[in-house]
Chain A
Amino acid sequence: MEIRLFQILIPAIGLLFVVTQIARQAKGKVTLRETILVAVFWIAVSAVAIFPDRISNFFAELLGIKDNVNAVLFLGIVTVLYFQFLLYNRYKGQQRQLTKLTRMIALRDAETEESKAS
């Protein structure tokens, strides 16, 4: 099997990310769940980089899509949508935090009829 540059480069980058993520988790900067997610993501990307044809053909057959390139595109779109969902969820969470903070300050500094009269 002829080995191309990206088949070495991508797994190496992935390994770097996974190792640094494990180090961050050891320092308590990220959770175990986040580390597992990062590891699974980079293992999957590395596997596709090392065995592109075998994996894309496997998914094409699994999904009933004739062309393996279409299967890769389909999975790519699904993955992007999933990350979009995660991102929007995080955005909504931050919006809720902002509302809570705004409300907390508003209630803390709220006028009362007594304070207004004095």
Chain B
Amino acid sequence: MNLPDDLHVLLPAYNEGPVIADVIHTLREAGIVHIVVVNDGSDDETGQVARQAGAIVVDHLVNRGAGAAVQTGIELARQENWSYLALMDADGQHVAEDLAKLMANLKEQEADLVIGSRFLASQKGMPRDRKFYNGIANFLTNLLTKKNYSDSQSGLRLLNRKAIEHLDLQVDGFGFCSEMVVLAERAGLKISETPTSVIYTKYSTSKGQDFHVGVRTAFNFLWNTLFK
């Protein structure tokens, strides 16, 4: 893959012990050198497994949510002066090779933030409930943004140095996906989307959005937006 040496891939992980080693090995096979796992207070052996698999592990002592884990990764990137930070879900649903597409798009479009969109590519195999929840979250996010985005909820993203410097997420939970897009627009960052694939397994569909998580996410995001 044609990727710069200073690309760091961030995996925010909570109780991903059964799959985290495979995800790290897949990234390594794809030529990714720098892999960072933010172990978000997992109850299982996520941190230990990720360390053994060769990733740099940053431990949250208690579980704070996906958004909090991502912001910790962003602050680490700022602290360590990294040039590029890619965000990926730690459940193995993303395809490592798509990182090259994100990087190519970032360069071509001169973007600061590239979102890997599941809805610009074939949605074959995507469960109906996922389409439904993502559709609602997308609609709500687009109400708050200037541009319309096809997949504001995607966990696959690429940030350049400018984005790393400007993004300060306040939402601890899944609402960070929407918040990042809103904050990036406010900061004048250029946002782009590129089609990416997604692998839905029994494991990955058991995690992430469902009705209850969706309602809570929307409520927390709106609360943070209105009463920050």
Contact = CB atoms under 8 A, between A and B. Distances in A.
Contact of A89 (B76, B80, B172, B227): B227
Interface stretch (B57-65, B152-160, B200-208): B57-65
Contact of B172 (A95, A109, A111, A116): A95
B89 interface: no
A98 to B, nearest CB: 7
A70 interface: no
A89 B41 CA distance: 24
A106 B172 contact: no
Given A92-B223, A103-B72, A106-B72, A111 B61 contact: no
A113 interface: yes
Given A95-B172, A96-B170, A102-B68, A110 B76 contact: yes
Contacts of A111: 56-58
A90 to B, nearest CB: 11
Max chain B CB contacts within 10 Å: which of A99, A106, A109, A113? A106
A106 B170 contact: no
A99 B60 CA distance: 9
Interface string B46-80: 00000000001111111011001001100110011
B38 interface: yes
Contact of A109 (B38, B59, B64, B68): B59
Interface of B is mostly: mixed
Contacts, number: 49
Max chain B CB contacts within 10 Å: which of A102, A105, A109? A102
B190 interface: no
A3 interface: no
Interface in B194-228: 223-224, 227
A89 B160 CA distance: 34
Nearest to A115: B56
Given A98-B64, A110-B76, 19 more contacts: A89-B227, A92-B223, A92-B224, A92-B227, A96-B170, A99-B68, A102-B60, A102-B61, A102-B64, A103-B64, A103-B68, A106-B38, A106-B58, A106-B72, A107-B75, A109-B59, A110-B56, A110-B58, A111-B58
Task: Give 3 nearest A-B pairs by CB, closest first.
Answer: A110-B58, A99-B68, A103-B72
